[in-house]
Structure 1
Amino acid sequence: MINIRTDGRRRTSGGGRVRSRGVKVLAVVLAVVLTTGVVAGWALRRRRDHDTAERVAARYFAAWSNGDLDRMRGLAADPPADFDAQHRALTIGLAVTSIALDPRPVVRSGPDAAHAPFTVSRSLAGHGTWTFASELRLGRVEGRWRVRWTPATLYPGLKGGGQWTVGQVRVPAVTLSDRAGRPLANEGPLAPYLAGIASRLGDEEERIVPAVVLRDGGGPPQRVKLFGTVKGRRVRTTLDRRVQAAAEKALAAAPGRAAIVAVRPSSGEVAAVADGLGGLGAFGSGYPPGSTFKVVTAGALVAEGADAGTGADCPASTVTAQRTIRNDEGHALGRTTLRDAFAASCNTTFAQLAVERLGPAKLAASARRFGFGTRITPGTDAADGGFPAPRSGAELAEAAIGQGRVLASPLLMASVAAAVADGSWRSPRLLPPDLVREGGGAVPAPRPVPGTGALRAMMRAVVTGGTAAGAGLPDGTSGKTGTAEIASGPPHAWFIGFRDGLAFAVFVETGGSGPKVAAPLAARFLAALR
């Protein structure tokens, strides 16, 4: 009951007990509120402290070790609908009997991102253990750390629902790669060459072994683990994938059977071999080189003291050693220089000079300097260049222009161009020297070629104003055309040359004209390189 005092002040019955009770109630309420806030704050702080990247990773690995897919899924941010199915597909497909995880410390990559490297070992029934490294990615999602799961968590690089099996696969004794270590496909124009190298280096036949096979998202099957054997021997070749692709692209435009071989002049390394001749045709076949052999004949003349400016005659036809020699289409320059006769590919000039100034021995010596008569062992089967000793003046005249009994492969003629570019002839090879020797071959010492400065000037003139001037060859190219007559049918078309540290030979079997067919094909090759 509340009383009103006469002095205007309010009075209560019971004195200060009501006031005391109210204060006590208020204090209790405040205490409860404060206590609740403290407890809630402590719980929230405890939950946040517990929810670290390290602890989430530890809980995930523990659940994974126990096969607790529900717990794993709960720790993942937005797991896919087939999360369980992807794990079971690997386990069932490979008959996994146990799994062991070896986590590494969590690595922070930012305030909201981290990853935990780990190694996983799975025991596969009847086959042994498959071990590999992967990583668990983590991130902060809505303030909480979670596992950012992707199929790559199961296996590095996995993109979709993988199909896992243990199958039987063939393991070659030798696996070949390009000069950068990238695998080479055992198909296309390179296939016979890679098979030839493998057969020389392989000390045993291919093996059939069990392997983990993955088909990722419907893609082609890939073997990811071999059991019971080591991988086949890996060997780097000298082949350059970029140069090889350019050669194959150019070869596709060839009018018939053709080949392109590219060689590095400084080492003799074969950078590319695009072969449409069949088998090892670019290495193992012999064809008359035609006027490309004039590089060798000019080399003999230079070795005897001539130079690019030496005077020479270029009539439309000439009779030398009772053999009539004619120029293509009856062209004539009259009195000219050795360089201009070479650029115009004057048969009459070189046949007459070979008979009158060189003789068989000096021309044969020049041929040997350029690799003719040398056993060539590039790492697979290859034919030696044939330069039989001329038995008469007529044979000497024919040999001087690459006809008669002179034979060469595209590989050998690429090495002829390389010798001019470098100043020394080097035996062309597809493998490092020690592996060439291991395969039963030999690597001859480089052979200096005298007067290559004059030869380079002559080959440059072929492109700037001679028979290859209209072929579309890029600036800086030097070369020599060749049109090699054969007993029946159209002649073979040749072009050999060099540019930017690469020498090459282009050959088109019965292609007709070297200037009109082989030189434009070389231009396509060089354009594809750019």
Structure 2
Amino acid sequence: MTDTGHRPSATPSVTTYRRRPRKALRAAVAAAVALAVVAGGAYAADLGPFDSGPDAPDPAALTQARAFLADWAGGRLPEAGARTTKPGEAQQVLRNFTAGLDISKPALSAAAAKAKLAENGTVTVPFTAKMPVKGLGTWTYTSQLPLREQNGRWRVDWRLSVVHPHLSGSEKFRLERDDTEGPGAVDRDGKALSADTHPSLAPVLSEVAVASGAGPHGAIHLVDRTSGDVRKTEVTFGKKPSRPTDEAVRTTIDPTWQAAAEKALADETDGKDAALVALRVDNGEILAVANSPAGFNRAVSGTYAPGSTWKIVTTSALLLKDDVAPDDTVDCPKYLTVGKEFHNVETSEHRGASFLEDFTESCNTAFISLRGKLGDREMGDVAGKYFGVGQEWHTGVPSFDGSVPEPRDETEKAASMIGQGRVLANPLIMASVTATAASGTFRQPTLVRGSKDTTTTTDLPKNVVGDLRTMMRATVTDGTADLLSDLPGDIGAKTGTAEVADGTPNNGWLVARRGNVAIACVVEKGVTGGRSAGPVVRSVLASVPDDGTPSTS
């Protein structure tokens, strides 16, 4: 239990009480949460458009509100305090609040478009706060910033309710923890899984424990400053166990695949952030989830542009309509302008290429030239109907299940054809897409046995599956994934290069299918898929049996 007053005092202090602590699990959970916040970013502000009439807030006030939230989120508390009418008090309250409640890095979003100007000239800016409480979860609430002019400058009119609307001179917050460790998790063979043996599983095992109710629990209470009596419970963390507390959580992890995945990430990524998922094609069971570094489960919860690996879905959409066939000629020029200039990796070109060659060489301009054959919503519809992308998946741990929004203009539609724009996925999604392309049937990925499946999908036609398998095989034998060509087995693959931002190296992708296993890997700042994610996938496939079917089902 952590008690903090969130207001100035001569010697601010925090007192912590815990029941039945379990250091190993608590450390793993805390690391996962902390690194997840770092990976996801600490601050976002949606200033949006606002009226410019006589009753509109002064833009300078909105700028100051945004700057205050940015300083608070970034831990620059002296700077945040200096933007208020009471700098010293504000700085100390903000420090006590975050430290006393074990909050790592806040994410603060200003709704400046809803800012209001009062008759007395003050401005009120609403904001949303997402406060990651270490090892427990995120506390989300809304509050508002009052601003007024002081000595010719806009400042936050400081009061305790700026931090939280319920914080006051008579009431404060208290964090209580119950860090109860459950019986742990086992692999598909019933053997105990440990982050000591498989370091990359640390965030996964923490999520499994929390999802099953065996992990840490806690709550933030609003209490009376004098008596300590609880006035209200603001938020609770954890949930009721879904199984007997002495029963281990049975996962689908295969230790051979997991070890191979972790070794490949350690040996082949040059220290870059990377993630990999391998799963069974016939039932969706996840055999390996590997993350480097291990703190954030980016393989399952990450949000990435999938780049050219998404061309598997784009190709499916085109084949479903008979709009193109593998042997059709679809020219591949160096550049194509659709609102902006698109080009191929290393500005390559393949004049007079067939659509099959466009796929195997990952030609962006050829795919973009076919955008008129698909309706604006068609890509998202195909992704959801046949591949389950965007539906709610129940894997046994929290997951991001993909997003394919309708493009807002022709430029964004062009980008979505090649897995850019606002199309988002992660290795879990792309491994599943690869498995569906190989078998024709979407099977929801699962990590914990007994996870329910609420998705509704339709099988791909056999002719579409046949074409996809042929094109992915040709990508290995004659295309951008030829580094896999000397491995045994009928391997099919697709490489991907995803732009991130100007001046930032591209992310590299590779997805592959061999036997009964589909695998997907992303390497952040990997530049190209074949050169970065390719060696990782090759290492994994070279370390496991050719058929890819585990001994225990």
The bucket for the TM-score relative to the shorter chain is: 0.5 to 0.7
Q: Is the 8 A contact 1:473 1:522 kept in 2?
A: no
User: Counterpart of 1:251?
Assistant: 265
* 1:418 partnered with 2:456: no
* 1:387 partnered with 2:404: yes
Residue 526 of structure 2, aligned match among 486, 504, 511: 511
* 1:353 partnered with 2:370: yes
Name the aligned partner's letter for residue 276 of structure 1: S
1:15-414 superposed matches below 5 A: 172-187=181-196, 188-202=199-213, 232-253=246-267, 254-255=269-270, 256-277=272-293, 278-305=295-322, 306-320=324-338, 322-354=339-371, 356-368=372-384, 369-414=386-431
3-state DSSP class of the match of 1:318? strand
Residue 469 of structure 2, aligned match among 438, 456, 472: 456
Residues in 1 aligned to 2:457 and 2:321: alpha-carbon distance in whole angstroms: 21
Residue 498 of structure 2, aligned match among 453, 463, 484: 484
- Which structure would you say has the larger Rg? 1
Q: Is the 8 A contact 1:375 1:384 kept in 2?
A: yes
Q: Is the 8 A contact 1:385 1:412 kept in 2?
A: yes
Name the aligned partner's letter for residue 311 of structure 2: K
Residues in 1 aligned to 2:485 and 2:469: alpha-carbon distance in whole angstroms: 19
3-state DSSP class of the match of 2:262? helix
Q: Is the 8 A contact 1:265 1:503 kept in 2?
A: yes
**CA offset digits 1:94-120 (Å, max 9, x no partner):** xxxxxxxxxxxxxxxxxxxxxxxxxxx
Q: Percent identity?
A: 38
Q: Is the 8 A contact 2:211 2:397 kept in 1?
A: yes
Q: Is the 8 A contact 1:176 1:234 kept in 2?
A: yes
**CA offset digits 1:362-403 (Å, max 9, x no partner):** 222222232322222211111121211101111100011011
Alpha-carbon distance change, 205 to 345 in structure 1, aligned in 2, over 3 angstroms: closer
Q: By how many angstroms is 1:494 displaced?
A: 0.3
Matched residues, number:
330
Q: Is the 8 A contact 2:180 2:215 kept in 1?
A: no
Q: Is the 8 A contact 1:318 1:324 kept in 2?
A: yes
3-state DSSP class of the match of 2:377? helix
Q: By how many angstroms is 1:307 displaced?
A: 3.0
**CA offset digits 1:101-144 (Å, max 9, x no partner):** xxxxxxxxxxxxxxxxxxxxxxxxxxxxxxxxxxxxxxxxxxxx
Q: By how many angstroms is 1:231 displaced?
A: 7.2
Residues in 1 aligned to 2:214 and 2:430: alpha-carbon distance in whole angstroms: 32
Q: By how many angstroms is 1:204 displaced?
A: 7.8
Q: Is the 8 A contact 1:425 1:446 kept in 2?
A: yes
3-state DSSP class of the match of 1:456? helix
Alpha-carbon distance change, 359 to 330 in structure 1, aligned in 2, over 3 angstroms: same
Alpha-carbon distance change, 202 to 345 in structure 1, aligned in 2, over 3 angstroms: same
Q: Is the 8 A contact 2:376 2:406 kept in 1?
A: yes
Residues in 2 aligned to 1:471 and 1:183: alpha-carbon distance in whole angstroms: 33
User: Counterpart of 2:65?
Assistant: none
User: Counterpart of 2:549?
Assistant: none
Alpha-carbon distance change, 265 to 191 in structure 1, aligned in 2, over 3 angstroms: same
User: Counterpart of 1:502?
Assistant: 517
Residues in 2 aligned to 1:431 and 1:374: alpha-carbon distance in whole angstroms: 18
Q: Is the 8 A contact 1:312 1:337 kept in 2?
A: yes
Name the aligned partner's letter for residue 464 of structure 1: T
* 1:467 partnered with 2:467: no
Q: Is the 8 A contact 1:244 1:272 kept in 2?
A: yes
Name the aligned partner's letter for residue 257 of structure 1: D
Alpha-carbon distance change, 250 to 318 in structure 1, aligned in 2, over 3 angstroms: same
Q: Is the 8 A contact 1:473 1:520 kept in 2?
A: no
Alpha-carbon distance change, 319 to 311 in structure 1, aligned in 2, over 3 angstroms: same
3-state DSSP class of the match of 1:179? coil
User: Counterpart of 1:126?
Assistant: none
Residues in 2 aligned to 1:205 and 1:318: alpha-carbon distance in whole angstroms: 53
Deviation above 4 Å: which 4+ runs of structure 1? Answer: 203-206
Q: Which moved more, 1:468-477 or 1:502-511?
A: 468-477
Q: Is the 8 A contact 1:263 1:503 kept in 2?
A: yes
Residues in 1 aligned to 2:334 and 2:273: alpha-carbon distance in whole angstroms: 32
Q: Is the 8 A contact 1:260 1:507 kept in 2?
A: yes
3-state DSSP class of the match of 1:325? strand
3-state DSSP class of the match of 1:424? coil
Q: Which moved more, 1:173-182 or 1:230-239?
A: 230-239
User: Counterpart of 1:92?
Assistant: none
3-state DSSP class of the match of 1:387? coil
Q: Is the 8 A contact 2:180 2:216 kept in 1?
A: no
Alpha-carbon distance change, 204 to 285 in structure 1, aligned in 2, over 3 angstroms: closer
Residues in 2 aligned to 1:323 and 1:362: alpha-carbon distance in whole angstroms: 22
**CA offset digits 1:65-118 (Å, max 9, x no partner):** xxxxxxxxxxxxxxxxxxxxxxxxxxxxxxxxxxxxxxxxxxxxxxxxxxxxxx
Name the aligned partner's letter for residue 522 of structure 1: V
Alpha-carbon distance change, 204 to 391 in structure 1, aligned in 2, over 3 angstroms: closer
Q: By how many angstroms is 1:172 displaced?
A: 3.7
Residues in 1 aligned to 2:256 and 2:475: alpha-carbon distance in whole angstroms: 27
Q: Is the 8 A contact 1:379 1:430 kept in 2?
A: yes
Residue 525 of structure 1, aligned match among 536, 540, 543: 540
Structure 1: stretches of 5+ with no match in the other structure: 1-169, 207-229
Q: Is the 8 A contact 2:276 2:290 kept in 1?
A: yes
Q: Is the 8 A contact 2:278 2:518 kept in 1?
A: yes
RMSD of Structure 2 on Structure 1 (CA): 2.1
Q: Is the 8 A contact 2:477 2:485 kept in 1?
A: no
Q: By how many angstroms is 1:527 displaced?
A: 0.8
3-state DSSP class of the match of 1:360? coil
Alpha-carbon distance change, 418 to 275 in structure 1, aligned in 2, over 3 angstroms: same
Structure 2: stretches of 5+ with no match in the other structure: 1-178, 218-243, 546-553
Q: Is the 8 A contact 1:280 1:381 kept in 2?
A: no
